[in-house]
Structure 1
């Protein structure tokens, strides 16, 4: 036997499935214990049953839609959108089986389960076919928003959304008003009959029209007052079909041709005096819509984890079976035996499992200020983790990964948009620094310290030492920016990345405390690389003046 072959480690056991890794982290997530204490029917056995059954549904019903829908895409026929074969049937099945309403109130047709079980289950659904799942994300977020903003209307709409009979969209962007919501031109006027009517053009509307549900409600921002900026914007529900069965004055003028998510129709939509229902208080549209936006931002983190988890599992399975290298006189080795391949897999796994831990933390958190501090990190680095994981998996697969014979190239294309919708990286960075740190003068930062540091103090000594150092550097950076916020916009991207590294240090201590070997290894790898990455983020906070 050659020295290379003789020194190689024995093949590692197969990875535990993603849902089981989430289950292993729940007891280490403080908010989970609080949830179980409040609900005697909630425990790990319940969570395991939900997540395992969700994984079966994802693998058996959703995943088969993914590759065909990427090839076939959506079409606009006679003014209506036709989705790929199977979409309508599986969407209806999701409604019947309760997957569309996992965390919606039981008295409105949901399952009444906690958000954390929805988040953990949806990771598998999004990893199976993210394009298909785009419809359910906006419909569920709309249901939660209606419960909060328009309870009377929620009684009619939420049960139908949970059942999959109806669907909903978030309808904000316009050709001249993307992230700059204050430039929205769509107007709503109330006629002599008391009915509101909306006129304008909206774009980038995912599942703005489709054949998966009998009625679609657009949660739409329109200008009702004379104010400029976001003042004067109100929130409306604009249904494509009116109560008497007539079609509303809404049309799809174009489907965007995109890099990925071919199975998800992205619509340009025209509203021509379309009848609308005012939601909540006139002129308070944007704050009210945040009940929907924040749910969708957490969902983007789940999408990112789903893509990353799928890419990692594909790469690991390939590395276990692809034979290359070793002594030419001996049989070739599985490429998992090569240290550089194991390094690549750990580089994918480390941020993926930190993201998993952060999503579970956020989904069980009862501190709104801290949740607001962490949400931009989950959203943005859910996106970056997904894209990097797909790219890393492609590297592990080599030339095979670049071909359509393998699903990795689709994962790469589909995941790229996560960093764009629901707020680009730059928007998340501005939010994280200007709003979450400077505007509240460090209150959320103090909450982060109070939450993270006691848990880190209980960690393994080596893990604790590294994590405390990384977080101390983040706190020092934060305090410098609080003391002198001149040029804060210049520091925003670096500060966002520093925040992610600090949260990864916290989550890494949780990972190394887990009994699961994959989680433990991911945590140890993170702690190995975080000091250098924090240094890079600190450097990005001091960009030269000529930029």
Structure 2
């Protein structure tokens, strides 16, 4: 079934111009002094046109055909290579890259919007360019002058694609178990030997070269993650010969069939050190954090695409009588279907506000004239990144499931195409650090790690808008109560952890999701306030925004109560009430 995707341009204009006031924020930065709302919308209109007209029609093809592996080479689905050439010709890889490297120097917030639309249109295809900016940022921050001169322009233009090579068969989330070795050579290069798995875009036919960024261990490195270094190993060397990097196979996956997920064997591959020896994770985290924001946008994009399908179907399908009706009605008139659609809409539009706010933070962290403010924006971005990655990908899968539910039995068959979104969305909760690890990172490092300083800073931003929420008193009250709960819980968990060190790990997921609801509630409060002030301009459209804000707080935000009850129960007992024979049952199952 052909994929039809309508870029949500009106909503982007509302988010960027009216709620976040992005043009004003950006014009205060010397690097973006020429930015205005018209320019931003022109870029988004062209991005939306590319996503809808070029990439979206390939979504079903990519899912059905998948990638083909033969004799160490990978062939992408029909149309993928041509679409990528058009992507590069349009200058899209260089959107937010620096002009000195051939980039357009446009704001990161536009790049976030671009990748939401691309992911909605075709998640599998978008996986190939999805790591470009992370690789660019990593090399720009940590690469030597020689590496930057050789590779930055090629990456910024999209002429060469990039990978992130972390995972090994015995080392998934625990990178300290990596075994890939790097041996220094007399000419200053290194030779890499080892095997990596689950490498997105590790081999393909879209570009003549691939830049592999690889975590490996030097001969004298200590055990554990602190002994890792980062290396750059191209697929093709400067003399045109093939480097010792070989694709040994591709995975047959539940979803994103158009994306080649490769196993790579490094056999004395020539490579160069990126950053300092033994500080590979610090360098790689630049790329990983960028990737995590993109994954959050993937969850949002997939939710939007599934919602569009479900909403259109609900306006076509007739079934049964709606309350107060005398005959067969469109299912969109049934309250049960309306609730399914409204939940999706509230989660999607709130998530779009949050990802665009994070994109603005990235611009401020990079370009604010004051060093102290750049540092503060960077800390805010670090704080919210695990929330965006985990909370929005959970929501993406949930929304895709709700969208399938609208189709009923027709959603469970492949002909309608809705089930692909569920399959594609599921991986976003796993890669770039599972959502459980994101939750642990959020609570242990971002909240408890600095005694709540970054949490207090974030909650201060929310409280400032609560104080100005005229016309939304009940919604402001609910959000204020959740803010207080989040801060109190953080203090109580910190105190309880002294006696029960495992306790924070049991409630980390609930704490991250509670913060996610506070973040989305904050965004909806701002959106609702703007809608009320603009009601006279377009009563129907802004009235819909006001109603969605009220619905969000009445139905979606109510999850705060359930999360709070779980955290409260764990604090009251010291640990959740787990069966004492849990390990025994696990051992029996294993045998």
Compute the TM-score of the two structures, normalised by the length of structure 1.
Answer: 0.94
1:377-396 map, 5 Å: 377-396=387-406
> Aligned residue for 1:258?
253
> Aligned residue for 2:518?
502
> Aligned residue for 1:343?
339
Pairwise CA RMSD: 1.9
Deviations 1:164-205 (A, max 9, x none): 321100000000111101111101001234320000000000
Cα separation, 2, equivalents of 1:203 and 1:89: 27
Q: How many residues align?
A: 533
1:130-529 map, 5 Å: 130-150=123-143, 152=145, 153-224=147-218, 225-326=220-321, 332-365=328-361, 366=365, 367-459=377-469, 460-485=472-497, 486=500, 487-515=503-531, 516-529=542-555
Relative to structure 1, the CA distance from residue 109 to residue 520 in structure 2 (aligned partners, 3 Å threshold; closer, same or farther) is: farther
Q: Which runs of 5+ in 1 are unaligned?
A: 1-14
> Aligned residue for 2:25?
34
Cα separation, 2, equivalents of 1:329 and 1:115: 49
SS at match of 1:405: helix
SS at match of 1:100: coil
Cα separation, 2, equivalents of 1:457 and 1:234: 48
Cα separation, 1, equivalents of 2:306 and 2:556: 23
Q: Is the 8 A contact 1:73 1:263 kept in 2?
A: yes
Compute the TM-score of the two structures, normalised by the length of structure 2.
Answer: 0.87
Q: Which runs of 5+ in 2 are unaligned?
A: 366-376, 532-541, 580-591
Relative to structure 1, the CA distance from residue 162 to residue 198 in structure 2 (aligned partners, 3 Å threshold; closer, same or farther) is: same
Q: Is the 8 A contact 2:23 2:35 kept in 1?
A: no
Once the 2 structures are TM-superposed, how far is the Cα of residue 115 of structure 1 from its aligned partner?
0.5
Higher mean C-alpha displacement, 513-522 vs 454-463:
513-522
Higher mean C-alpha displacement, 448-457 vs 59-68:
448-457
Once the 2 structures are TM-superposed, how far is the Cα of residue 292 of structure 1 from its aligned partner?
0.5
SS at match of 2:559: helix
Once the 2 structures are TM-superposed, how far is the Cα of residue 453 of structure 1 from its aligned partner?
0.9
Relative to structure 1, the CA distance from residue 88 to residue 436 in structure 2 (aligned partners, 3 Å threshold; closer, same or farther) is: same
Cα separation, 1, equivalents of 2:136 and 2:169: 27
The answer to whether residue 570 in structure 2 is matched with residue 544 in structure 1 is no
Relative to structure 1, the CA distance from residue 342 to residue 329 in structure 2 (aligned partners, 3 Å threshold; closer, same or farther) is: closer
The answer to whether residue 46 in structure 2 is matched with residue 46 in structure 1 is no
Relative to structure 1, the CA distance from residue 375 to residue 31 in structure 2 (aligned partners, 3 Å threshold; closer, same or farther) is: farther
Relative to structure 1, the CA distance from residue 177 to residue 117 in structure 2 (aligned partners, 3 Å threshold; closer, same or farther) is: same
Once the 2 structures are TM-superposed, how far is the Cα of residue 151 of structure 1 from its aligned partner?
5.4
List structure 1 runs of 4+ shifted beyond 4 angstroms: 327-331
Higher mean C-alpha displacement, 460-469 vs 110-119:
460-469
Cα separation, 2, equivalents of 1:411 and 1:86: 20
